Amino acid sequence: MTLIRDAARVCKSKNAGPFELTIDVVFDDAAVFQKVKATGVLCPALFARLYNVPEEHVLFTPYDAAFAFKATFPRLVPAGEFGDTDVYGCQQHAPLLDVDLPI
Amino acid sequence: MSTKEIRLLSVSAILGYGFSEASLKAGMARKPDMIGVDGGSVDPGPHYLGAGIPFCSPIAIKRDLRLMLHAAIEAGIPMVIGTCGGAGGNPHLDLVAGMARDIAREDGLSFKMALIRAEQDKAEIKRRIAAGGIHPLAHQPELTDAVVDRATRIVGMMGPEPFIEALDNGAQVVLAGRSSDPAPWAAMCIRAQLPPAPAWYAGKMLECGATPSIPKGHDSLFVTVREDHMECEPCNPARRCTPLSIANHSLHENSSPIHHIEPGGMLDTSDCRFDAVSDRAVRISGMKWNPASQYTVKLEGVELAGYRAICVAGTRDPLLIGRLDNFLESVRAEVATKAAAFGATPDTYRLGFRVYGRDGVMAEREPKRDAEPHEVGFVIEVVSQQSREMAAAVLGVARANMLHTDFPGRLCREGNMAFPFSPSDIDVGPVYRFSVFHVADLADPRELFPIEYEMVR
């Protein structure tokens, strides 16, 4: 069992503009990145499940040059709107930390 | 291939975030062609654009600006700041321009200054809506005249072209309203005939100061841009740029890591290479620029959403924590009755209970909402559409009922809430919401961004 919190170098969230949230998971080198990519665990369906968004609203991009995976999807409410809990969007990464990577 | 290069010094991530004088000195010793800093961001939310105030303190902004002006004037190079005053509207730009004039007078500096305005005239935006030249972003609805009329302030996000014009006209200090973050840096490179791809990429690194280095911090970054690549190195010897720190930064605040939409085109970083040129500097190559068939700029606007008052409280009572949702619903019902009695019907305000220790950070997306905490913190919040006074009045009722409302099994009969402060209630004032998030088609990239010149002495 290898959790993202133990395998990744970076796991972070942030606004991508006031209406979208973007999450990055970055690994140390090409070898780890390719192993993780091969598992298929990091995929649009994972983000759809963890963040309760329709899968078709998840823009998922592996970025080989940076050993990174990026997922972008709508915020619950726009930044600063009534009910927003995280104006910068930088504390929405935690559910990913305990995702198990079979590597 | 030409040996031409442009050398750029970004002092920090945002004007007012600070940087050390040693970093500035180290950067200036490397003979930059331009010194600058990003002045703002949309990240702190809609308030600052609406209220016309900066999110950094004027004291901190003026400190940074003074050091930058002295460095630029002494070296005889341009100093350029985009998105002045945090949100880049007229009050924000005028605040920073006033500081530049004050510093010049106080310290005996003189320079030609350009102010590039980004705040938009509502009639002009409505004319463009009618002509079909405005389009929604991020699944927003089409822009209507009513939304424009309601807006407190609308800014356009300029590209490099207005900066190029100001620099070509001999301005040494260029202060701009809302700008695409990389635009001032891209401008300096593009007017030197460097290709747009490394120019824009350089801007993406420089707009955050030393953020693309480790340890990450608000400090200065030096970038050298050449025909087919650029090199990044932090000014502070305690920091390093590594291929990983640079690659990581390329993910920052964008929906896609490989397609970066900018006014006039798209920066494609799919095939970028990150190579260490020393243990502190990284060379980035392989970026591509795809020009757009239509030049567009983003519009950002906000409208008044009401008036907010908040109260912070906490409970350590397990009997209350065990039936929190029911308790909050009974408080909500009490507030509805009592507030209606003085004229605040439930359709005129929104009452929120933010529950820290349960789902205060992630709301409906919190997977561990059912874990039982031993204490919880509350931010009780009222946003009234009527007035500040009414927000305070409804909040007062909510606070008193949080404190005193009975619940089954209650033993803490003197009060349910621990308040850390007296006064317990905070008047936050006007609340804004994003209402305009669209793009405008431009025939000339400069047409929404008039430039004023003045001699400052």
Q: Write out the DSSP string of chain A.
A: -EEHHHH-SEEEEEESSTTEEEEEEE-SSHHHHHHHHHHT-SSHHHHHHHHT--GGG-EEEEEGGGTEEEEEEE-SS-TTSTT-S-TT-TT--HHHHT-EE--
Chain segment B66-123, per-residue pLDDT in tens: 999 999 999 999 999 999 999 999 999 999 999 999 999 999 999 999 999 999 999 9
What is the nearest CA distance from A22 to chain B, expressed in angstroms? 6
Chain centroid, CA B453 distance in Å: 26
CA dist A78 and A70 (Å) reads 20
CA dist B359 and B320 (Å) reads 16
Interface test with B, best of A14, A26, A82 (most B CBs within 10 A): A82
Cis omega (within 30 of 0) for bond into A44: no
Mean pLDDT of B144-167: 98
**Whether the Cβ atoms of residue A83 and residue A77 lie closer than 8 Å to each other:** yes
pLDDT at position B2 is 56
Render the burial of B260-270: b for 16+ CB within 10 Å, e for the rest: bbbbbbbbbbe
Residue B280, judged by CB atoms within 10 A of its CB (0-12, 13-18, 19+), counts as middle
Query: Which residue has 């936050």 as its token pair?
Result: B428
What is the nearest CA distance from A92 to chain B, expressed in angstroms? 6
pLDDT at position B1 is 47
**Nearest residue in B to A86, CA atom:** B361
For residue B446, which of B155, B160, B20 has the smallest C-alpha distance? Answer: B160
Question: Residue B77: phi, psi to the nearest 5?
Answer: -120, 160
Report in angstroms the alpha-carbon separations of B329 from A51, B402, B405, B419. 26, 11, 11, 20
* Secondary structure (3-state) at B240: strand
pLDDT at position B443 is 97
State both tokens at A45: 């369906």
Binned at pLDDT 50, 70 and 90, residue B55 comes out as very high
Mean pLDDT of B290-299: 96
**Whether the Cβ atoms of residue B133 and residue B92 lie closer than 8 Å to each other:** no
Q: Kindly determine whether residue B247 and residue A65, on different chains, have CB atoms separated by under 8 Å.
A: yes
Chain segment B241-294, per-residue pLDDT in tens: 999 899 888 888 788 989 999 999 999 999 999 999 999 999 999 999 999 999
pLDDT at position B274 is 93
Within an 8 Å CB–CB cutoff, is residue B42 touching chain A?
yes
Q: Which residues are registered as beta bridge partners of B433? A: B303
What is the nearest CA distance from A52 to chain B, expressed in angstroms? 7
State both tokens at B353: 């209970």
State both tokens at B162: 């207005």
Chain segment B5-42, per-residue pLDDT in tens: 999 999 999 999 999 999 999 999 999 999 999 999 99
Chain segment B166-217, per-residue pLDDT in tens: 999 999 999 999 999 999 999 999 999 999 999 999 999 999 999 999 998 8
A/B interface, count of CB pairs below 8 Å: 132
- Using N-to-C axis directions, what is the helix angle for B196-206 and B183-190, rounded to 10°? 140
Chain segment B372-408, per-residue pLDDT in tens: 999 999 999 999 999 999 999 999 999 999 999 999 9
Q: What residue type is B248 in one-letter code? A: N
**Nearest residue in B to A13, CA atom:** B253
pLDDT at position A102 is 93
Interface test with A, best of B244, B349, B351 (most A CBs within 10 A): B244
Chain segment A44-100, per-residue pLDDT in tens: 999 999 999 999 999 999 999 889 999 999 999 999 999 999 999 999 999 999 999
- Using N-to-C axis directions, what is the helix angle for B161-168 and B183-190, rounded to 10°? 50
